[in-house]
Homo-oligomer: A and B are copies of this chain.
Amino acid sequence: MAEVAPKIKEASRRADARLAGRATPFIFNCWYVAGFAWEFARDLKARTILGRPLVFYRTSAGDPVALSDRCVHRSFPLSKSQLDGDSIVCGYHGLRYDSGGACIEAPAVGECPRGIGVRSYPLRQQGPLVWIWMGDAAPADELPTGSWVADEQWPASQQYYHLPASYVALHENLLDLTHLSFLHAHSFGTPDYAAAPYAVDLDEDAGRFALTRSVVPTRLPPVWAEPTGLTGKDAARVTTSEFLGPSTHVVSAQFYGLDVAEAERGRTGIRTAHLPTPETATSTHYFIHHGRNFAQDDPSVTDFMQEQLTVAFTEDVVGLTEIERMIAETPEDDRYEISLASDRPGLAMRRWIYRTAMEEGEGAG
């Protein structure tokens, strides 16, 4: 009968009401990753983003296009239709939509009615990533990650998971380094990690939440030790995890031997962009872009890190899937969460998502 006291439960419920969760509307005015560049080609591809079914293709000039997948006439999926030149011909009645979504032909009636079309969504390609803007506001000038993701000095590999869990839970996972020693005990967590001090940098006005943990000295797990040549040596592991918006979280880490001069320390770093794009309230397209700024010409390093990281990222995906299932199976009256001091960055982030989503909703209404 060690259950949480009713008073504490009550307080947790009150706090939850202002935290983003499964019931919080999506934030639309944001660049999200729609997919990897090579996923979009001269054929039609369906993908649901922020609850909206979309169709993607590239024009003959190579420009990526995203349109609402539903023909406005009788709801036939355009993704099951014909790409003809740069336009889509609906598979049901032949309505033709150009790459801007305008309906330009309606064979059944001769002349196409004016002002008819499907919504098109702005896309922007950045190296291997294609970003989409789903919102009503004008697209932001800058993409969330910064330019390194398209920089040759940062060779990278990519990965995709279909995650049957809320994107908010994934962000909270990323903004929390205290789970490494447990969920990742057998991959890249090391026992000294959970106990190490960390610095937080939370800016609720700007919506930037970061935490930095320096583990010095430490012994690196194989995923970092092997490619950096630090196996069996005392080393430093300095990691920054930074939430840059609903679609983007970047983990940067530097590793160096303790004998390395300060000016040289930035030479061996990795950056992992975790790029969750909500599909539905409880499922997420989880894109990952993992780069490094060393051994740029050695593809075996790329392969080794990809292989090692896959183990760890899969642990997150499995864990978040289990949590989503547990929440779904738990009776409503038992779904409170007790937060710890270590959750402060995640809670600040969730408050920000909640507030931003609510404000955006009011703006629309």
Contacts and interface: CB of A to CB of B under 8 A. Distances in A.
Contact of A326 (B70, B98, B176): B70
Nearest to A53: B329
A322 B91 CA distance: 11
A98 B1 CA distance: 11
- Among the interface residues A4, A169, A194, which one has the most CB atoms of the partner chain B within 10 A? A4
A313 interface: no
B108 A334 contact: no
Interface string A55-89: 00000000000001110111111001000000001
Contacts of A322: 76-77, 80
A327 to B, nearest CB: 5
A67 B327 CA distance: 16
Contacts of A335: 75
A190 to B, nearest CB: 13
A19 B77 CA distance: 22
6 contacts: A2-B97, A2-B118, A52-B331, A70-B334, A94-B178, A109-B342
A69 B326 contact: yes
A107 interface: yes
A93 B182 contact: yes
A5 interface: yes
Nearest to A8: B115
A206 to B, nearest CB: 26
- Among the interface residues A74, A91, A172, which one has the most CB atoms of the partner chain B within 10 A? A74
A178 B108 contact: yes
A113 interface: yes
Nearest to A178: B108
Report the contact-size class of chain A (Cβ under 8 Å from the partner): 35 or more
B323 A72 contact: no
A19 B95 CA distance: 22
A335 B72 CA distance: 8
A144 interface: no
Contacts of A103: 2
A92 interface: yes
A338 interface: yes
B106 A340 contact: yes
Contacts of A102: 2
B2 A108 contact: no
A195 B178 CA distance: 67
A293 interface: no
A117 interface: yes
A330 interface: yes
Nearest to A339: B73
A337 interface: yes
Given A72-B336, A80-B322, A4 B91 contact: no
- Among the interface residues A2, A119, A330, A336, which one has the most CB atoms of the partner chain B within 10 A? A2
Contact of A73 (B5, B118, B329, B337): B337
Interface string A148-181: 0000000000000000000001001000101101
A333 to B, nearest CB: 10
A290 to B, nearest CB: 23
A4 B74 contact: no
Interface in A189-222: 194-195
B108 A194 contact: yes
B326 A90 contact: no
A337 B72 contact: yes
A53 to B, nearest CB: 5
B340 A108 contact: yes
